[in-house]
Amino acid sequence: MGFVFPEKYGGMEGSFLDLTVLMEEMGRACLPGPFFSTVILGGISLLEGGNEKQKERFLPKIAKGEIILTLAVTEVSGNYEPEGIETRSVKTEEGYTIDGTKLFVPDAHIADYILVAARTEEGKGNNGIALFIIDTKSPGITVTPLKTISGDKQCEVRFEGVKIKEDALIGGLNNGWSIIQKVWPKIVVARCAEMVGGAQEALGMTINYAKEREQFGSPIGTLQAVQHYCADMVADVDGCRYITYQAAWMLSCGLSCDKEVAMAKAWCSDAFRRVTAKGHQIHGAIGFTEEHDLHLYYKKAKTWELFYGDSNFHREIVAQQMGL
Amino acid sequence: MDFSFTKEQERLRQEVRDFLETKVTDGEFQVKSNGWVESHSQKFSKDMSRRGWIGMTWPKEYGGHNQSYIDRAIVMEEMLTYQAPIGFHFLADRQVGPAIIHFGNDEQKKTYLPKIINADISIAIGLSEPNAGSDLVSVKTTAMEQGDFYIINGQKVWTTGGHRADYIWCLVRTDLNAPKHKALSEFIVDVKTPGITVRPIINMAGVHSFNEIFFEDVKVPKENLVGPKNRGFYQLMAQVDYERAGLERLMQNYPLFKNLVEYAKKEKRNGNPLSKDPFIRNKLAELEVEYQVGRLFCYQVAWTLSQGRIPNYEAALCKAFCTQFEQRLSDAATRVLGLYGQLMPGSKYAPMDGDAADSYLWSVSYTIQGGTLEVLKNIVATRGLGLPVAKS
Ligand SMILES: Cc1cc2nc3c(=O)[nH]c(=O)nc-3n(C[C@H](O)[C@H](O)[C@H](O)COP(=O)(O)OP(=O)(O)OC[C@H]3O[C@@H](n4cnc5c(N)ncnc54)[C@H](O)[C@@H]3O)c2cc1C
């Protein structure tokens, strides 16, 4: 859990590149569980934006697996733009009061703490946003899990007059968005790494099946139609791998890589989806059942495609980076 | 060339639409993608039967209505627009009836056709087996002659509606020594016959729609053999063209398409309707063009049948194209909806009650059931274009 945290917080000082290896394996296993929300969304945000006291308070507990965290940015607008944030924080004597509704918050139903992006001032775009860490047991918080295609738990989190202390603020008062922006590439690339693993596994299952399944007296893998699908799938999976590793490596080296990150998610979003769809086509009816595992990957591919921007969203960033 | 419908046909369409509107208003069913596969209502089928919408193209002497395939397509188009619960009679109406008309004897026609037309019996299709999917000629289930009976042993799989059917239309092996394609026969088997076990399979959309069916020393009277013994494979090749060409291959998620377009017009993002977003606009228009092309493919096949001809590669082409459209539609819908596109039926915030996500799950099956996309393309290439068949 504390893989990328400094040793003094109970971590192992692993690099971000190393972490992506771990993420890839989790994706390969289609691992259910709050690792992503706790470590990537919660832990890395605290690491980037938290003060010393906050880091000392939370990171060791994360490293020991004692607490679950998550991050709540997106709201009804369903996007990842600062304009979408309408949840408000109002300054009070002792701290702040939070009101608003967050959507698609991963694992909020089991989280101990939620990092919440809230608007401090109207009309100031990305300069009027603060990030708070809030105990989910605070009065005024209601969590409702949504029913998603992949069966993961994403939630609606409502804040009604939730009172928090001054020390819940992460970074400066109007600094929230810049923290999110700093963490964002890591969130995106960690997700891509999971997609690499998932796509690799779906490909592997399919190749094995194409070798075993016989129709017309030979393995279906001897059929050129099937072979070409498999070849397309390899291009997709290898593409996922290289473009993701490139971004992960650049991030790890501290290089600027907005374009590489966007290219990685643009590619992985489409490629993982295509790989699972072709995998299903090659499996025939057996893959359309609940007892076969392939559907887990097909469903994850759709959720992960839509999370943190789909290919259209990221191609727009690439276009901007190209000076278009 | 004439792309218009006759006045009678327009009237027919209106009559069907009125019928369906009343049913929806009365709460008899809900309009929902994949509804025609999921739902099953003998009452609904009986109501259709009373209006003459089952066995529409069949000869009058067996209770049919001797109407054209275009008329049938019109009725189907409306039924599918509403995704009406036609599952009780659908397979019998689409393929079993026509097979009996072509290959059955007079006794069989008199026995089964009126019952199908009156929605008294529901029939499932038992072709596929664990090791015989695309390669149907490899079925291993056997039917061996014993006195006045055949004894069936083996297993069928993916049998849609098998748990609600009265009969199963079975492809079985009746000769263990002859070459494979000269050893198959078709039977109509009463599901209540001792020795038959139907077990559910849950599909990846979480629905029990298909089954596996086991046959253990199932004693079937000889008169249930349809057509000559050992001619089953040849009969089947003619039948699947009926299975392949219908509008049901284009419209399984039609409600999603209709609702998505409305949603894009109404729903706003950053103050503008979604329909003004260049990506969404282009995507929806592209889907509309594809849909209309697919519709013409379907009507072309219906027209060919209405001329008394059996479609050739056109049925395969039609299904290959149309099912891919359905798949592209459900994928596009999830993306137009963004994060909301992954919300399932029953979830808070799910647009169109989760029809996009749900249909994205179902869409996996669209290009597999009733002949896979690849097998269909093979047919277009070889039977349609005369390209040589690879030696195996
Ligand atoms: C929802 C659903 C409902 C169904 N309902 C019924 C039913 O009611 N009754 C019934 O009998 N069956 C039913 N089926 C079964 C269906 O007909 C088979 O799934 C289909 O024929 C494919 O067989 P398979 O699944 O064994 O795949 P396989 O035949 O094993 O095919 C696996 C892969 O190999 C490819 N392939 C195979 N042969 C070739 C070839 N020659 N050239 C190129 N590619 C090839 C296929 O295209 C596919 O991609 C249903 C299936 C589904 C998904």
pLDDT in tens, B228-245: 999 999 999 887 776 677
Mean pLDDT of B158-179: 97
Model ipTM value: 0.94
Name the phi and psi angles at A190, rounded to 5. Answer: -60, -40
- Whether residue B111 is predicted with pLDDT greater than 60 in this model: the reply is yes
Percent of chain B with pLDDT over 70: 99
Q: For residue B311, what pLDDT band results from cuts at 50, 70 and 90?
A: confident
For residue B126, give the nearest of B232, B251, B248 by alpha carbon: B232
Name the phi and psi angles at A150, rounded to 5. Answer: -95, 5
Tell me which residue in A144, A273, A288 faces B368 most closely, judged by beta carbons. A288
The list of chain A residues with pLDDT below 50 reads: none
Q: List the beta strands (DSSP E) in B15-166.
A: 123-126, 142-146, 149-157
Q: Inter-axis angle of helices A224-252 and A258-283, to 10 degrees?
A: 150
As to burial, measured by CB atoms within 10 angstroms (0-12 exposed, 13-18 middle, 19+ buried), residue B136 is buried
Strands A218-219 and A214-215: antiparallel
Structure confidence at residue B288 (pLDDT): 98
As to burial, measured by CB atoms within 10 angstroms (0-12 exposed, 13-18 middle, 19+ buried), residue B151 is middle
Structure confidence at residue B392 (pLDDT): 57
8 Å CB contact of B345 and A307: no
Q: Which chain B residues are closer than 8 Å to A291 by Cβ? A: 201-202
**How far is B136 from A216, CA to CA, in rounded Å?**
9
The number of CA neighbours under 13 Å toward the Cβ of A207 is 12
Write the DSSP assignment of B19-37 as a string of letters.
HHHHHHHTTS----TTHHH
Please give the number of the atom of ligand 1 that sits closest to the Cα of A285. Answer: 25
Name the phi and psi angles at B192, rounded to 5. Answer: -80, -5
Structure confidence at residue B243 (pLDDT): 66
Which of A206, A214, A222, A226 to probe ligand 1 with, by most ligand atoms within 8 A of CB? A226
The amino acid at residue A322 is: M
Structure confidence at residue B346 (pLDDT): 96
Q: Which site among A75, A86, A146, A209 would you substitute to test the B interface, given the most B Cβ atoms closer than 10 Å to its Cβ? A: A146
Protein residue with its CA nearest to atom 19 in ligand 1: A285
8 Å CB contact of A146 and B347: yes
What tokens were used for A187? 């969130």
Q: Inter-axis angle of helices A258-283 and A294-306, to 10 degrees?
A: 150
**How far is B359 from A270, CA to CA, in rounded Å?**
18
Query: Under a CB-based contact definition with an 8 Å cutoff, are residues B172 and B152 in contact?
Result: yes
List, in order, residues 6 or more apart from B42 with CB less than 8 Å away. Answer: B88, B119, B122
Tell me which residue in A147, A223, A312 faces B346 most closely, judged by beta carbons. A147
Domains of chain B: 7-121 (1.10.540.10), 124-231 (2.40.110.10), 245-384 (1.20.140.10)
Protein residue with its CA nearest to atom 52 in ligand 1: B369
A116, containing H or E segment: strand A113-119
- Give bridge partners of residue A227 from the DSSP assignment: none
Query: Under a CB-based contact definition with an 8 Å cutoff, are residues A263 and A250 in contact?
Result: no
Q: How remote is the CA of residue A215 from the centroid of ligand 1, in Å?
A: 10
- Whether residue B10 is predicted with pLDDT greater than 80 in this model: the reply is yes
Structure confidence at residue B242 (pLDDT): 67
Domains of chain A: 7-63 (no CATH), 69-173 (2.40.110.10), 178-321 (1.20.140.10)
pLDDT in tens, B318-374: 999 999 999 999 999 999 999 999 999 999 999 999 999 999 999 999 999 999 999
Provide the mean pLDDT of chain B: 95
A165, containing H or E segment: strand A153-165
Q: List the beta strands (DSSP E) in B222-285.
A: 225-226, 268-269, 272-273
Q: Which chain B residues are closer than 8 Å to A144 by Cβ? A: 348
pLDDT in tens, B28-77: 999 999 988 888 899 999 999 999 999 999 999 999 999 999 999 999 99
The model carries a pTM of: 0.95
pLDDT in tens, B249-268: 999 999 999 999 999 999 98
Binding pocket residue ranges, ligand 1, CB within 6 Å? A 213, 215-216, 220, 223, 225-226, 281-282, 284-285, 288; B 125-128, 133-134, 158-160, 210, 365, 368-372, 374-375, 378
List, in order, residues 6 or more apart from B369 with CB less than 8 Å away. Answer: A285, B158, B160
What tokens were used for A25? 């394996």
List, in order, residues 6 or more apart from A53 with CB less than 8 Å away. Answer: A167
- Whether residue B99 is predicted with pLDDT greater than 90 in this model: the reply is yes
Q: Which chain A residues are closer than 8 Å to B341 by Cβ? A: 302, 306
- Give bridge partners of residue B151 from the DSSP assignment: B144, B219
